[in-house]
């Protein structure tokens, strides 16, 4: 194997040479446009989030440009489909960064995509806002410089839903879970059940069902739950899967028999229409609701919602607001960096330096990017489904808005470890309650 050494030297030589050739140039002149690369699902089941997200991005970008752009520079968007598979995603992300020379990226919806692209963004020294992916572990496992999460993660999202359940149905004894069988379904249940065990140790978990992602038929799961009669059924399913589960359970009376908790059900409320009964607990992955009780008198919020409905035929759902937050974060970071740079156009590194501790407002309460781990601190809204005049679908009632700081794992602590330190008292926290239309 003498030749391997030689090949090796040759390879190393070639690559070194290439490394030198490829050194990035720094440009501080104000560019003609600020390019943003966005990864989102345009195909596959998660397009239920991706398409509204894309529509929102286009609306927000047009709005920013109408107002003169970011720091006087108009923004331009390129989209990449997360649904075309990992190979195409990675290749296209590189193309965005290396060929199209985007200035920032928003990646991604799926935690799987984030797992792939966040290290790649770090390699490519690319400013990235994780605009919608929820796995807490990504930022807990490693400190990144270039990626920031402009929204919460699964820990506060699940914790808010759990506290809501404990506050509104304090006496339940049994619970079952039906989650999609992939990281989100598993991880969200782990967070929820770990916290539940701490805060209400006497509850018995009677069934843990993880049907395949995209399963077309839940008849057997429904029968089993009807026979087991749990007080509460918890699910973090979404999209077509959640619609199917809710309808199949509703058709057979299971929704009436047990209290259902749809932890990210806000995104299905409009699609389910009248098939969604009253009394289900519904979470929203953030303080997202097109009738946000604290934002109702906000003209910009109302105008945006109306415009979105006019454009797409539906009211905005949480990915739309998450997209708005990513834009707000980007704009905030640029504004701060320009100011710190004496009004001159900042370098990429200067913008990245400006992002930690940044506070920005999308269409909910302000969000802060925690400096220690680049995690966004985002409030959580949970409510219960209720009929309302003037709507052909359910609305949220009895809404609670949870303060981000109280329910997010402290920086440096792994979510599951932190959850294990919680006490039953934790659920007794004060939370403001809002009624629909009041």
Partner 1 sequence: MAGRSPALAWTLAAVVVAAGVIPILIPSMATLVVLILAKGIVVLGIIILLQAGQVSFGHAMFFAAGAYTAGFWGKYLGVGDLVAYLVVGTVVATILGLLVGLFVVRYREIFFGMLNLAFSMVLWSLLEKMFHLTNGADGMRVPRPTVFGMVFSPENFQYVLLYLTLAIAIAATFAVQRFLESPTGNMLRAIKSNETRLEYLGVSARRILLIGYVVSAALGGIGGVLVAVAQQIATPEFAYWTKSGEFVFIAILGGVGNAMGAFAGSAVFELVRFYASAQLANSWQLILGVVLIAIILFAPDGLIGLWKRQRAARDES
Partner 2 sequence: MCGGRHGSPVPDLTSKLRVLMNSTLFVLASLDGLSYAALVFLVSVGLSLIFGVLRVVNVAHGSLYAFGAYLAATLSLLVTPISPWLTYPALLVASLVIGIVAGGLIERLLLSRVYGREEVLQLLITFAVFMIMDNLQRMIWGVQPIYAAEPLKLLPNVSIFGVSYTSYQVIVLPVVAVLALFGLRYFLRRTLMGSVILAVTEDREAATAIGINAQRVYLITFIIGATLAALGGALASPTTSLVPGMGTEMIVLSFAVAATAGLGQIEGTAITALAIGMARAFVIYLQPEFEVLVPYLIMVAVLLVRPEGLFGATKLRKI
Which two tokens mark 360?
């920005």
The dihedral through the CA atoms of 64, 65, 70, 72 has a sign that is negative
Least distance (Å) between residue 116 CB and partner 1: 5
Does residue 1 belong to the site contacting partner 2 (CB under 8 A)? no
Q: Which does 85 bind (CB under 5 to 8 A by kind): partner 1, partner 2, none?
A: partner 1
Binding mask 105-134 for partner 2 (x = CB under 8 A): ----------x-------------------
Least distance (Å) between residue 344 CB and partner 1: 29
Candidates 11, 24, 33, 43: give the one binding partner 2 (CB under 8 A).
43
Q: Which of 175, 209, 363 is nearest to 281 (CA)?
A: 175
Does residue 219 belong to the site contacting partner 2 (CB under 8 A)? yes
Q: Which does 87 bind (CB under 5 to 8 A by kind): partner 2, partner 1, none?
A: partner 1
Which residues touch 41 (CB under 8 Å, ≥6 apart)?
Answer: 47, 49, 50, 51, 81, 82, 83, 109, 110
Q: Which stretch binds partner 2 (CB under 8 A): 16-24, 70-78, 246-254, 339-347?
A: 246-254
Does residue 11 belong to the site contacting partner 1 (CB under 8 A)? yes
211/214 Cα distance (integer angstroms): 8
Candidates 38, 48, 195, 232: give the one binding partner 2 (CB under 8 A).
48
**4 vs 219, beta carbon nearer partner 2:** 219
**193 vs 375, beta carbon nearer partner 2:** 193
Strand partners, 56: none
44/341 Cα distance (integer angstroms): 43
Helix-helix angle 111-124:86-94, to 10 degrees:
30
Candidates 44, 69, 119, 279: give the one binding partner 2 (CB under 8 A).
44
Q: Which stretch binds partner 2 (CB under 8 A): 55-63, 249-257, 326-334, 402-410?
A: 249-257
Q: Which of 356, 336, 291, 308 is nearest to 150 (CA)?
A: 356
CB 220, CB 228: distance < 8 Å: no
Helix-helix angle 111-124:183-199, to 10 degrees:
110
Does residue 124 belong to the site contacting partner 1 (CB under 8 A)? yes
Does residue 91 belong to the site contacting partner 1 (CB under 8 A)? yes
List binders of partner 2 among 194-213 (CB under 8 A): 194, 205, 208-212
**51 vs 58, beta carbon nearer partner 2:** 51
List binders of partner 2 among 131-170 (CB under 8 A): 135, 137
Candidates 98, 204, 220, 251: give the one binding partner 1 (CB under 8 A).
98
384/161 Cα distance (integer angstroms): 11
Least distance (Å) between residue 291 CB and partner 1: 34
Q: Which does 7 bind (CB under 5 to 8 A by kind): partner 2, partner 1, none?
A: partner 1
Calculate the alpha carbon distances from 117 to 45, 66, 108, 154, 336 in Å.
20, 31, 8, 19, 26
Q: Up-side HSE of residue 36: CA atoms within 13 Å toward CB?
A: 31
List binders of partner 2 among 311-340 (CB under 8 A): none
DSSP 325-388: HHHHHHHHHHHHHHHHTTTSPPPHHHHHHHSTT-EE-SSSS-EEE-TTT--EE--EEEEEEE--
Does residue 247 belong to the site contacting partner 2 (CB under 8 A)? yes
Candidates 78, 248, 341, 347: give the one binding partner 2 (CB under 8 A).
248
Q: Count Cβ atoms below 10 Å from residue 2 Cβ, excluding itself.
A: 5
**83 vs 362, beta carbon nearer partner 1:** 83
Q: Count Cβ atoms below 10 Å from residue 223 Cβ, excluding itself.
A: 12
Rg (CA), the chain: 23
Candidates 86, 216, 412, 424: give the one binding partner 1 (CB under 8 A).
86
Q: Which does 303 bind (CB under 5 to 8 A by kind): partner 2, partner 1, none?
A: none
Burial class of 249 by CB neighbour count within 10 A (0 to 12, 13 to 18, 19+): buried
> What residue ranges bind partner 2 (CB under 8 A)?
42-45, 47-48, 51, 115, 135, 137, 183, 186-187, 189-190, 193-194, 205, 208-212, 214, 216-217, 219-221, 223-224, 226-227, 239-241, 243-244, 247-248, 251-253, 271, 275, 414-417
For partner 1, the binding residues (CB under 8 A) are: 4, 7-8, 11-12, 14-16, 18-19, 22, 42-43, 80-81, 83-88, 90-92, 94-95, 97-99, 111-112, 115-116, 119-120, 123-124, 181-183, 186, 210, 212-213
């Amino acid at each position: 194997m003498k030749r391997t050494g030689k090949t090796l030297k040759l390879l190393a030589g070639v690559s070194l040479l290439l490394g030198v050739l490829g050194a990035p140039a720094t440009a501080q002149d104000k560019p003609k446009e600020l390019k943003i690369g966005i990864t989102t699902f345009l195909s596959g089941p998660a397009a239920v989030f991706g398409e509204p997200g894309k529509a929102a991005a286009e609306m927000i970008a047009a709005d920013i440009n109408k107002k003169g752009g970011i720091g006087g520079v108009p923004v331009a968007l390129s989209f990449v489909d997360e649904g075309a598979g990992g190979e195409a995603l990675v290749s296209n992300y590189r193309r965005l960064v290396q060929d199209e020379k985007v200035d920032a990226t928003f990646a991604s919806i799926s935690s799987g995509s984030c797992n792939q692209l966040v290290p790649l963004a770090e390699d490519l020294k690319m400013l990235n806002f994780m605009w919608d992916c929820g796995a807490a572990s990504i930022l807990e496992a490693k400190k990144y410089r270039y990626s920031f999460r402009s929204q919460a993660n699964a820990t506060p999202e699940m914790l808010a839903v759990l506290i809501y359940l404990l506050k509104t149905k304090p006496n339940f004894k049994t619970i079952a879970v039906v989650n999609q069988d992939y990281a989100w379904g598993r991880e969200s249940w782990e967070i929820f059940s770990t916290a539940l065990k701490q805060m209400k140790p006497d509850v018995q978990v009677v069934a843990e069902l993880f049907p395949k992602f995209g399963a077309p038929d839940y008849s057997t799961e429904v029968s089993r739950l009807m026979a087991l009669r749990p007080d509460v059924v918890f699910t973090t399913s979404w999209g077509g899967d959640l619609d199917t589960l809710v309808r199949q359970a509703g058709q057979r009376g299971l929704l009436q028999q047990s209290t259902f908790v749809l932890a990210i059900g806000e995104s299905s409320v409009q699609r389910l229409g009248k098939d969604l009964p009253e009394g289900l607990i519904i979470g929203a992955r953030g303080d997202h609701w097109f009738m946000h009780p604290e934002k109702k008198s906000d003209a910009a919020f109302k105008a945006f919602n109306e415009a979105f409905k006019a454009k797409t035929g539906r009211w905005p759902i949480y990915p739309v607001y998450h997209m708005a937050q990513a834009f707000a974060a980007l704009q905030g970071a640029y504004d701060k960096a320009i100011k710190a740079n004496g009004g001159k156009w900042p370098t990429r590194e200067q913008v990245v330096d400006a992002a930690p501790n940044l506070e920005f407002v999308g269409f909910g309460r302000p969000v802060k990017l925690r400096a220690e781990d680049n995690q966004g601190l985002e409030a959580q809204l949970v409510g219960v489904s209720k009929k309302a005049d003037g709507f052909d679908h359910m609305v949220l009632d009895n809404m609670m808005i949870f303060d981000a700081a109280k329910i997010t794992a402290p920086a440096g602590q792994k979510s599951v470890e932190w959850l294990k330190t919680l006490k039953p008292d934790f659920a007794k926290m004060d939370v403001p309650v809002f009624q629909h239309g009041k």
